[in-house]
Amino acid sequence: MGLDYSMMILIPNNKKEKIYDYIKLHGSFYRDDRSFCSLKFNIDHNVIKYIQGWDDWKIMQSFEEDYDLSCFKENEFDSCWMIPKEYDNCNGNITPEFQAEIGGFDIHDKQCKDHCLIKITAVTSDMSQFISISLSVHNWLIECCKYVEAKLGYIDMETYGSRILYYDNKSVNLLLDGDSHIEMEYNDFISMMSLFKESLNSDNKSIVAIIPSNKKMKVYDYIKSHGSYNDDKRNCGLEFDIDYNVIRYLQGWNTWEIKRKWEKDNGIKNYRDFTEGYSKISKDDSGIYGHVTPYLKAHIDGININETMLNSYTKLEFEINRWNMTRLVENSLSVHSWLIDCCKCSEVDLGYIGVSSGENRILYYNKKALNLLVSGEEALKIQLNDFMSMIITFKRALDSDYEFY
């Protein structure tokens, strides 16, 4: 089956007709059928790529990202503009107003108490990919939400997650990458996101465990059996299974000879024949902190431990201070597995990895392993009450969406 991504708009029941008015202004219905339409978007890089059938075409390197309309008017793209609908391998046309008219989209609506959930679904997989990445599409949704006085607007990318773009008269950009939040019960999801947001009080790149304060010593016990720490518990070394990214980290991320079939993260068994030459790697001037143990674990040193009180919880941060270790923590499945196992054994409530100030990967909550990337620097700075109000509205809309099928 193909992709069926959708633009979702939660709107008060008495404003529902404004959606169709907006589509008439910025698109058109097929033979006056309000269940099927085409939409007009401003030109951006991904609009042009989509209309051209996603084929390679000559475009200056400086336009490889999603720029606004003005960037294209001044350059040699005349042959791209007036593409007729009947042209082979063409997915839309450019209007005299210098917009791209693209279709079709299916339109459905679902009553949700005093609100109506409008679902505008792309009819092809290519179109689904297009609406997930184009800034012009995102801006179209935001402007539509403003016009119709919507409560919430987001892109539903099915099992690949959701991108919230509008809430309560404000544009936002919060990506929930993965499908963990879709399957979670409402109360569990809200509790998890509340604890997660409340714990975001620093820009540190770190491995984070949120645990009831009376159980925090269990984490130190786990570290002792899967690593080591100094007497004041302020600095530790952790032991991870060998995987591709661990070996790359120990080698300083330099290019080294490894067969292509081991280029992916396949676990310890594929590396037994490759570890002999790396077993004596230790701290040196190249910034490498770690070594391979006799029992085929990678011992990574130089990790600081910070404790913060969080109501009845303790937040334990394993702080990452070097860029190459940041890459390791972000990409290594062995590091992710270490955190999940630590959470299980130590009765941790929430475990996540802070990749940057605006990107965090939740890997564990309430006795369950997850994989949910929460991304959006400005959105994550919203006050706790406003943030949770947005999350609650989103989850209710998401759960209602299942009734479309």
Examine residue 380 and state whether it is found in any structural domain, yes or no.
Answer: no
Higher pLDDT, residue 179 or 56 = 179
Examine residue 53 and state whether it is found in any structural domain, yes or no.
Answer: yes
Is residue 329's pLDDT more than 80? Answer: yes
Examine residue 368 and state whether it is found in any structural domain, yes or no.
Answer: no
Examine residue 30 and state whether it is found in any structural domain, yes or no.
Answer: yes
Domain that holds residue 277: 204-356
What's the mean per-residue pLDDT of the chain? 80
Q: What is the per-residue pLDDT for 401?
A: 64
The identity of residue 49, as a single letter, is K
Higher pLDDT, residue 277 or 166 = 166
In terms of domains, do 144 and 35 share one? yes
Examine residue 146 and state whether it is found in any structural domain, yes or no.
Answer: yes
In terms of domains, do 78 and 208 share one? no
In terms of domains, do 136 and 280 share one? no
Whether the Cβ atoms of residue 166 and residue 183 lie closer than 8 Å to each other: no
Q: Quick one: average pLDDT of 64-74?
A: 47
Q: Model confidence at 168, in pLDDT bands (50, 70, 90)? A: very high
pTM as predicted: 0.82
How many domains does the chain contain in total? Answer: 2
Per-residue pLDDT tens for 74-127? 443 443 443 434 333 445 678 888 888 998 899 999 887 789 999 999 999 989
Examine residue 328 and state whether it is found in any structural domain, yes or no.
Answer: yes
Q: How far is CA 32 from CA 9, 25, 40, 92, 101, in A?
A: 21, 14, 17, 19, 17
Examine residue 168 and state whether it is found in any structural domain, yes or no.
Answer: no
- Strand ranges inside 49-140, DSSP E: 92-94, 99-112, 115-122
Q: Model confidence at 338, in pLDDT bands (50, 70, 90)? A: very high
Per-residue pLDDT tens for 305-323? 999 999 899 999 998 877 7
In terms of domains, do 142 and 225 share one? no
In terms of domains, do 22 and 119 share one? yes
In terms of domains, do 111 and 216 share one? no
Cβ within 8 Å of residue 213, ≥6 positions away: 309, 312, 313, 314
Examine residue 377 and state whether it is found in any structural domain, yes or no.
Answer: no
